[in-house]
Structure formats: structure tokens, C-alpha cells
Structure 1
Amino acid sequence: MSEDQAPLPEPAELKRIAASCPDQLRVIAAALAKGRRLPELYPLFVEPPRSADDPEVELRACVLGELVLAGVSSRGRPEFEAYAERLRELGHPLSWLPGERLDLEHRFGVRVRGAGPVKSAGQLRARFPEIPATAGGAAGGAAAGRTAQEVRDAERARDAAGAFTAGGWACEPEVRFFALPERLSDDDFGMAFLQGLPLDCLAGEMGRGGALACLTAADDVANELYSASCDGGVGGRPQHGAYARLHAWRGLYALLGVPADTPFLDTVRYAADCRWLRFMAFTRWFHHDTADVGFAVLDPSRTRVAVLAATDTDTDD
């Protein structure tokens, strides 16, 4: 091991870290996955895990998760495969995730120069196709929004918001679910429809920037969930790669309303049949400071809608 490679703490030190600062295990795992060659990591997985609560097991589970994000699959690597299978038997939360990186995750952890948080209407329009607020679509969408019935589901809402709450975003996200009495046309699923819903984030006086909605896709939403958790908000609770990936997938499943035992590729196909919006509004709810996100998804039946809005700020307003 060269001097710049990440060292592996002794078991006693891992237990101390787990007791005093458990998140530090994730930092160590990310450093190991990035700073060691694969052959150097294989010996870590020779002994099968005995308990999901063991700090050494937690560290190794995170290392496997970080490796998947780097494009390293467990398939064809017996040490990794056996360890991952035992983690599933123990019910470790990270073992629920796909064992290899899926195409929907292609943006996770990828930083593009000039493509930080969307803070202005101009930035949103530059990155995503805006939905024109035509007279017919606006009227029909607003009317349809007013007929929507809210469906309360606390557990699903908690999972949908999990990336932001775990990441320490300063404000509590808004997550709402609605059922429509009849099928909504894609043309009517726009800003006017959202403004017809009883959403806190769109309530009150609208500022000069107004409100706009743009078309997006599931990979954009998943990436925002991942980034919110991985990097953390102004509250400073970055979850790092392995657990950020977990929060992203849990959030996506919750927004789609699919059961946790649905195969991942089936969920990806289902998500592709949905209609996804990214929206922005200049209301008092959003801060337009550190980061704001607003998403809405219309399911394939075109009768169910989920909305997620989150805002992060380093001001006291």
C-alpha cells in the first residue's frame, strides 16, 4: 500500500468510530473504494458477515456500495458475490439495492461544470423543455387539479422525502399524493394543473418570476435525490455514495407508488411510462437561495399524481 492510499482502521478503532461517529464509517468506505485497487480489497470480504450491526460489516457493505457506483459489479467476483448474498440474508438495508449500476443511475456522482443547482427560471428553461401554457391546456389542467383528491400515506411520504431529510436540508420537504376521478391528458399535466392542487409550495402570492413547469425524466429525479443525500444540505449531513443511492431508490419507488419487492428493471420500465415534470415557483415557500427542487409525476394510468418539493437555504427567512 502506498502512502497516499486509504488505511483500514483496526477492529477496535472501527467500533469506537461506530459508537461516536457512525457516519465516519461511510467516509472511510468511500476512501477505500476510491483509493485501493480491487485485488487489495478482496481480502476484506473473505470472512462472511455474521451480524448486520457489526461496524466491520457496515464498513464492508458501504465499500461494496461505493464500488457499484464506480461501475464495479459483484458478478464474476466470488468474494463480493458471497459477501453480498450474506448481507441479503442478514437484512442489511444496502443489500436491497441492485448489485450493479443501472443505466438510470448514470448521473449519480457525476459533476458537470456549470450544471449546479437550478436557482432561476432561466436556468430551468435552459436545461429542460418548458411546457407552453396554452389557453386550452391551462384551463383544462386547472380544472382537473381542482377535482383531485388527496391520498394520505405517511410512510410513502417519508420515503419520498428521505433523501432530503437524511441529507440535512434546512426545510421540511412537501410530499403529496393525489387521485383523479378520470384520466388526465398529457397536455393538461402542466403548471396550471399543479396550481389547481392544494399545495403549500404554490400557495400565496406569486412573485415576479411567476411559475413554470418543464418536462423531465426519472433519471433527473433520481439524480436530484442522490445528490441531495450524498452531498447534504446546509444542515451538513452528507450520506456519501452507498446510502445516498439507497435514499434515491427508496424515494423513486415512493414517488412511483410501487411495492419495495418490485424488480428494479420493472420499476425503470414503469417510470418510463410515467410523465415527469420539474417545476419552479416564486412563492414564499421556495427560497431560491441554496437549492430548490419541485417534481411531479403522473402515473401510466394518468389517474395518480405524486408531488415532491424541497428547498434548502442558509438564511433565516
Structure 2
Amino acid sequence: MEETEENLAPLVWGQAEQCAARGDTAFVRRLGSQLADRRAAALEQARDHQRQLAHVIRVLALTPGRDSLTQLLRLLEDKPHAGTHPFIASLLAEHQQVPDLVATVFDRSEWRELDELRACLFHELLLRGADTETRGPLRDWTLERPGWHPLAWLPTHRRDFEAGATFPRRSVRGSAGGASSRLPTRGRMDPPTPRSVPPSALRDVATVDVYETIVAAPQAGDWGACGAWVFQLDQAIAPDQVPALLPTLPMACVDGLGPTDRFEIAACPMEEIWCLLFETASMGGVYGSRVHGAFGRLWAWRSMAGLSGAAADASAPEVERQARHSTWFHFEAGAEWFHNEIGSDYGIAALSPDRCRIAVLAATDTD
């Protein structure tokens, strides 16, 4: 069977069944073998085309000036599946001048099919400090943007706790940057060792929905593993009681932790927690994917909402109020669940405003 590629289809649809019916199953097997080889070659060719296309888009996005911007937008409008808009928006925000971006990308009369790019670029620019409130295309976008889009839930101006967001550094052929989860040295509240507090009788009450909300950031960033737990306390506790309580809770991330094993914790301002969640989602894990700035902002807010105990249908201002009145902690532990590699493990705990609820997020990202 030495058929050219264009003649395989007639063999598949015209002869395979007849050959099998008369007992020539070896012919059918050889036909399948040829198709499998051609499929593998086609997939590799498609991957090669994808790598080349990604490089071309990167060159256009990273070449400053309105001419390269216009050519990129023309490519994206003519070929809607040429590239992923969250990634392209991130590149543009890093390398292009804001006036050029505002004058070109946000011209909806010229580029009618690029609302997804505009939605992502708006938040990329906002997080980098662009003025979104003065009258102009950026403010107009907040009135024109599709209400159904997930990013429409987010505030249309940068909140003060978002001002410390960090971003990757990219060139045409390389990149640098990643989430840093190091425990801060200030605000330390490490409980004394040996820890003698008995295991807590509290039980995890996190529902599936609450769990998924809390782990939104590490799941979006494709970290290696993550977990979430929620505990409803019998009575209000003071923030300085949290460090001693956490190692006693029934959580996989502290399971097996001995009385002298490492457990380090620091009280943190809300902005440090938000930045950690943002970097987790936007920059992704070491070997995983990432969602970049716009959606990184969204998933950081979602995780913060779940940790602080905001209602499932809470608006962004409601989430912010709940989070601002919560008490936040960053911790690390020598338990087996963590791999204890620098920058690859962290735990976050939030004590609710009424001090009767503790929510915990643990994340690890190792090979």
C-alpha cells in the first residue's frame, strides 16, 4: 500500500470496511499505521507553525511605535485565532507607550473585533498606573465595555493595595520574573517551640464553592498543588492567638507537623497578600501556565474574596470592605505537604472581621 496522502481518504472511506469484511484486516491495520504517522507529523508541523506565529506576534508587540501596533491589530482582526489576547495585552502594556496604545487599540470605530484585547489591556494599563478616570478613550471604555465579560466585575480604577503589583520583563527572545513567596521578616509572630497546644477539635466547613473561590489564584497560575480550609470558631479570638492555633487545625498542609518542626508566620498588610495572590495567578508556576495581568487581577480578587468570607455574589467594593477589615497572615511550615523550597511554598490565613472565622490557603509549586 503505497498511496499518496491525498489518496488515503478514498481508501479509508471506500475500502476499509470491505477489506475487513473479507478478512484482510492487515490492510486496515497498515492504513491506520500510515494515518497515525501522518497525524503525528501534522501535529508537529502545527506546533512549529504556532511557535513561529508566536514569535512574529512578539516582534510586532515589542517593536515600539504606532506602525507596528497597527500591523499587529490588523493581523489580529484578520486572523482572530492568531494569538491569545491576555498575553498580547501584557506585552503591549510592557513595551508600548500609553498614548500610542490609547489612540490605536481603543479606537473601536477602526478595530471592531478586538474587545477582548481592549478588556485585557485596560486592566494591564490600570495596574501600571495609567489614568483611567480623566475623560478620554480609557474612561470611555468603562462605559462601552461588554457587561458580560468576566473582567467587567473588577473596579475601573486601581485600588491603593494594588499599587505594588509586579510584572514580568520580556524581550523578543526571553523573559524574566516570577512569583516570590518568601515569608516577610517584619511582623513575625512565630509561636515558641516546642508547641504544646493539643490538636484542635474544629472541623473544616468549606463548601465546594468557597473552596474553589479561595484557590482561584494558584489554580489559575497552574501551581503544583493547593488546598483551602475554613473553620468557624466557637467564639471570637484575638489576632495574636492565630499563630498558635493554625498548626493545630486539621489541615493537610500541617499534617504531621511535630512540636519542634518549623512553623513560621507573620502578620501582613492586605496589600502584601493581594500582591502574592496576583503574582501567583499572573506569573504562574515554574512549569505551568499563567494568565497575565488582567486575569491575574481578577483571580487575586476572587481568592481574597473567599479568604475574607465575602458573600458569593459580593461586588468588588463589598469584597474590598470585607478584606480591609480582616486580619491577614503569611506562614510556612516544615510539614511534608510543603516541599520547603525557597519561593515555592506559602500559606495564607485570614481572620474575619468578627474574628469568628479562619480561612486558609496553602500553595506549593515544585517539580
Please say whether Structure 1 and Structure 2 have the same fold, judged by a TM-score greater than 0.5.
yes
Q: Aligned pair in 2 of structure 1 residues 272, 38: CA closer, same or farther (>3 Å)?
A: closer
Q: Indicate the residue corresponding to 1:219 in structure 2.
A: 271
- Amino acid in structure 1 at the alignment position of 2:91: A
Structure 1 counterpart SS, 2:346: strand
Distance of 2:259 and 2:354 partners within structure 1: 34
2:330 aligned with 1:278:
yes
**Given that residues 76 and 83 in structure 2 are in contact (C-alpha distance below 8 angstroms), is that contact kept between their aligned partners in structure 1?**
no
| Alignment of structure 1 residues 30-179 onto 2, 5 Å | 30-40=90-100, 41-47=102-108, 56-89=114-147, 91-109=148-166, 117-118=180-181, 124=183, 127-133=185-191, 142=197, 146-171=200-225, 173-179=226-232
Q: Indicate the residue corresponding to 1:307 in structure 2.
A: 360
Q: Structure 1, unaligned stretches of length 5 or more?
A: none
> Taking structure 1 as the reference length, what is the TM-score of the superposition?
0.80
Please, which moves more after superposition, 297-306 or 148-157? 148-157
Q: Aligned pair in 2 of structure 1 residues 268, 37: CA closer, same or farther (>3 Å)?
A: same
Structure 1 counterpart SS, 2:145: helix
**Given that residues 167 and 231 in structure 1 are in contact (C-alpha distance below 8 angstroms), is that contact kept between their aligned partners in structure 2?**
yes
Q: Aligned pair in 2 of structure 1 residues 15, 158: CA closer, same or farther (>3 Å)?
A: farther
RMSD: 3.1
Aligned residues: 292
Correspondent of 2:282 among 224, 230, 235: 230
Distance of 1:46 and 1:20 partners within structure 2: 20
Instruction: Give 1 or 2 for the bigger CA radius of gyration.
Output: 2
Deviation at 1:218, TM superposition (A): 1.5
**Given that residues 230 and 240 in structure 1 are in contact (C-alpha distance below 8 angstroms), is that contact kept between their aligned partners in structure 2?**
yes
**Given that residues 226 and 247 in structure 1 are in contact (C-alpha distance below 8 angstroms), is that contact kept between their aligned partners in structure 2?**
yes
The share of aligned pairs that are identical, in percent, is 28
Q: Structure 2, unaligned stretches of length 5 or more?
A: 1-59, 169-177
Deviation at 1:103, TM superposition (A): 0.7
Q: Aligned pair in 2 of structure 1 residues 209, 128: CA closer, same or farther (>3 Å)?
A: farther
> Taking structure 2 as the reference length, what is the TM-score of the superposition?
0.70
Q: CA deviation digits over 1:204-262, x for unaligned, max 9?
A: 25497521222112211111111011111023312111111111111111111213654
Distance of 2:110 and 2:237 partners within structure 1: 50
**Given that residues 216 and 278 in structure 1 are in contact (C-alpha distance below 8 angstroms), is that contact kept between their aligned partners in structure 2?**
yes
2:254 aligned with 1:183:
no
Q: CA deviation digits over 1:51-90, x for unaligned, max 9?
A: 9xx5x1111111111110111132123322232223253x
- Amino acid in structure 1 at the alignment position of 2:263: A
Q: CA deviation digits over 1:104-148, x for unaligned, max 9?
A: 11211168xxx97345xxxx3x6232215369xx66xx46x7242
